[in-house]
Chains A and B, each alone.
Chain A
């Protein structure tokens, strides 16, 4: 088993109220089979043996689906590997002697809590504002009563694969959440079940997004490149159309 000796440049910040700094640390003898987070586990065991405070980071499923892990690796959320989350990055992608910069997902709407942990409650608030189909348990018709064309179902599915990690926001120079919001809006607005609340949904979600302090979209699509689930920026175009239409309807209705 090959081993790597690395230099880590890690963001440390004891609490939201403290300033942060970059700490330099050697990580020696890292097996190439280890995942990126397992590399940090190994480093943390060493830190613990020294009696110091380990590097705090969010993580849970470690198989790329829960959306909890969130590191900016060498300046890129979830690393430069395409279509992976941080927990799916493996050390075999690095070379012996590499220096690796590890920072949190940075955005005003994602305040740092400790070291590499950020608060992404703003995403939940956007979903709560309208990212659902309002269907009471028990009132659903038979599942096959509404056939859905396969291409429509596939489009909705591609949008629905969003894991809510926030890489799109962290990669955007404006810290815009448009890819996240548009993915959910697109998923629900494409399906027949989502039509009754379509206008209400986009207006509420977009307004909540603005309220949470996310920036505006200037169509550079860093988000699409950073997305671990490869969600298309076409969803943003769809959201813009749906939003324009809903706003126009709202304006007419309130005249």
Chain B
């Protein structure tokens, strides 16, 4: 199958305008005849469900949590970008577009990114009208701050709870539509399969997590807004329940999965402290507006700190290595995430880590507190400092925070065209679950922007291009595909329940996570990835022979829920490694140890970059990798969408 991205004709600045004009329309009286399934109720899912319902479509929305308000978008801290240029600091749609393409290390689709930058301004208007309490100046107008990879202040924020406030805005819009009768909401309900009829996605099979009942729902189109796959690493900043099952089910039914190797490791998380640990906590990138990141310049100082013989305060300024400021003077502590994470790893690999495990560096507020006073810092970051103190048990106003990179976001996702439609006709994918806008690395404060852009402004227009070709209600759950899918689901659940082995689900999840972090984390290499592929096959075998799930499938059973998700991750992980193996270059969140600039590189000698920076290969890898499922234990097949850059010149990404 060929991949047609359906990018509209014309200059990039006019594509979206033209596309809106050329998109099909469905008249208001006909809209209510169409049923749409939305899986997921985070920023993308809730905003899409609410907006499509406002337009008149009939929506069924599903989430695994007890309420749509719990979706993990709620945990986003720092902010949301928009090219409003309220600061008069030279921002524009064009600049946000450029920063995002460059931040993504030239591996995103230009047309999609430009559209994202265009609608970014509408999101802020929409959210403000809903009552989202963005930070304001004393004059009553909206405030901004800066995020990584940008030299302008375009990030809107609501203290350190921007995701919460934006999600509550979308959630309230969703509840309004539930009240109006346009949306039927299904909580504690997990999608367990996608139903494809004559090549079109026409429904889903779900498991009611309260009683284990398997049930089907048919619709005219299916929207997945189910987030990312960060939990394949076991430890991540994702919520415990975040999973890739909906995406994996779609992949197994024919939807291509794009660029899984682009995983974002966030530089500022609270370091791992023990093997009982269940998740990692992010400290917002916004802290890097004022906080300074450093490690001791001398290994012996770092060792003394690890042994508790010295503290940060004992290290004089000349013995501190503010490595981001040193290596990237123009962006300093606001260097992008992938670059900042690798720099932290480099310092720790060099024996200069400061936490007990050796895997930690400082994020220090001593200087801004001296300059601005403790109250000013409390006003900006109070809740984040409090969160840190609760978890780490030390006072960050007095001692620097200790941080280390952790898995945070996944740029890869189901392949979609310009209409956000999968190669699997009738399936639409929004938010983190798709792949198109962030390339190989997402800039801070761009996830909220993309989720809401897709849900509020893109899909309400583009979905009609598919629906207008469909007779409403043409497929019902009486179709044999639904019966078959339900039976397959019941069989797989029975199979899992009947294994009754000796190891817990968490055991397998943890093993997979360690393997993925070790071989497919911040530094990937050919041998390691090949070893991981062999090991994951064995682990999967062991899982199906030796996992133990207690209780019954006909009631609330958290072990079964986890087992079903882990089973999907075990298949997904292999594709992730395959993709990382195939991409013989370093770009953004995908760093292959074999491909980096060295002392001898001409670009280093001419001062364009530094040794250790990612070495991209535009001649051979300027494409989207879209993987096709070919069966259990089969290597997936690779399809390529070539990326064409007409507006941005491919260049070495420099933040120096």
Contacts and interface: CB of A to CB of B under 8 A. Distances in A.
A37 B65 contact: no
A246 interface: no
B390 A90 contact: yes
Interface of A is mostly: loop
B210 interface: yes
A63 interface: yes
A128 interface: yes
A137 B128 CA distance: 11
Interface size range on A against B:
35 or more
B138 A150 contact: yes
B68 interface: yes
A123 B550 contact: no
Nearest to A135: B129
A134 B140 contact: no
A20 B456 CA distance: 45
Interface in B329-357: none
Given A48-B550, A137-B457, A62 B51 contact: no
Contacts of B124: 143
B161 A164 contact: no
B382 to A, nearest CB: 11
Nearest to A84: B390
B631 interface: no
Centre residue among A42, A63, A68, A187 by max chain B CB count within 10 A: A63
A150 B137 contact: yes
Interface string A140-151: 111110111110
B54 interface: yes
Interface in A25-49: 31, 33-35, 37-38, 41-42, 45, 48-49
B69 A60 contact: no
A59 interface: yes
Contact of B131 (A83, A141, A193): A193
B172 A127 contact: yes
A45 B507 CA distance: 9
Interface string B274-304: 1011110110000000000000000000000
Given A124-B68, A141-B129, A164-B67, A31 B274 contact: yes
Interface stretch (B213-221, B491-499, B554-562, B616-624): B554-562
Nearest to A162: B168
A127 B175 contact: yes
B502 to A, nearest CB: 8
Contact of B555 (A88, A114, A134): A114
A30 to B, nearest CB: 8
A96 interface: no
B126 interface: yes
A161 B161 contact: yes
A48 B548 contact: yes
Interface stretch (A152-160, A169-177, A217-225, A231-239): A152-160
A48 B175 contact: no
Contact of A54 (B130, B176, B391, B550): B550
A147 B139 contact: yes
A138 B126 contact: yes
A56 interface: yes
B125 A142 contact: yes
Interface string B162-177: 0011001001110110
A66 B129 contact: no
A121 B66 contact: yes
Nearest to A114: B556
A134 B176 CA distance: 7
Contact of A61 (B136, B187, B239, B386): B239
Given A58-B66, A142-B125, A160 B168 contact: yes
Contact of A60 (B70, B139, B273): B70
Contacts of A140: 122, 125-126, 128-129
A42 B276 contact: yes
Contacts of B393: 90, 92
Given A48-B504, A193-B131, A60 B65 contact: yes
Interface string A55-92: 01011111111111000000000000001100010101
Nearest to B77: A65
B133 A156 contact: yes
B387 A64 contact: yes
B551 interface: yes
A121 B178 CA distance: 13
B191 to A, nearest CB: 17
B175 A128 contact: yes
A143 B86 CA distance: 10
A9 interface: no
A68 B390 CA distance: 18
A137 B131 contact: no
Given A58-B66, A127-B171, A143-B128, A157 B159 contact: yes
B280 to A, nearest CB: 9
A61 B456 contact: no
Contacts of B278: 35, 37-38, 41, 62
Given A48-B504, A56-B558, A164-B67, A62 B240 contact: yes
Given A66-B239, A90-B391, A134-B176, A60 B141 contact: no
A146 B139 CA distance: 11
Centre residue among A54, A129, A137 by max chain B CB count within 10 A: A137
B136 A148 contact: yes
A128 B133 contact: no
A164 B70 CA distance: 9
B473 to A, nearest CB: 25
Given A128-B178, A140-B128, A62 B239 contact: yes
Contacts of B474: none
A157 B137 contact: no
Contacts of A120: 66-67
Centre residue among B128, B133, B138 by max chain A CB count within 10 A: B133
B109 interface: no
Centre residue among A65, A119, A157, A163 by max chain B CB count within 10 A: A65
B128 A193 contact: yes
Contacts of A95: none
A131 interface: yes
A52 B130 CA distance: 48
B70 A67 contact: yes
A137 B274 contact: no
Given A38-B276, A161-B161, A191 B131 contact: yes
A157 B133 contact: yes
A66 B69 CA distance: 7
Contact of B187 (A14, A15, A60, A121): A121
A133 B17 CA distance: 29
B380 to A, nearest CB: 14
Centre residue among A42, A114, A144, A149 by max chain B CB count within 10 A: A144
Centre residue among B66, B74, B550, B559 by max chain A CB count within 10 A: B66
14 contacts: A31-B274, A52-B550, A60-B65, A65-B164, A113-B556, A119-B66, A124-B68, A124-B178, A124-B187, A138-B122, A138-B126, A144-B142, A148-B136, A150-B138
Interface of B: 47, 50-51, 54, 65-72, 74-75, 84, 86, 122, 124-131, 133-142, 158-159, 161, 164-165, 168, 171-173, 175-176, 178-179, 185, 187, 210, 239-241, 273-274, 276-279, 281-282, 386-387, 390-391, 393, 456-457, 460, 504, 506, 548, 550-551, 555-556, 558-559
Given A143-B129, A157-B133, 8 more contacts: A15-B556, A35-B278, A54-B550, A133-B131, A137-B457, A137-B460, A141-B125, A150-B138
Interface of A: 1, 14-15, 31, 33-35, 37-38, 41-42, 45, 48-49, 51-54, 56, 58-68, 83-84, 88, 90, 92, 113-114, 117, 119-121, 123-124, 127-129, 131-144, 146-150, 153, 156-157, 160-161, 163-164, 187-188, 191, 193-194
Q: What 8 A-B pairs come out closest when comparing CB atoms?
A: A147-B140, A132-B172, A140-B129, A143-B128, A140-B125, A128-B175, A157-B133, A60-B239
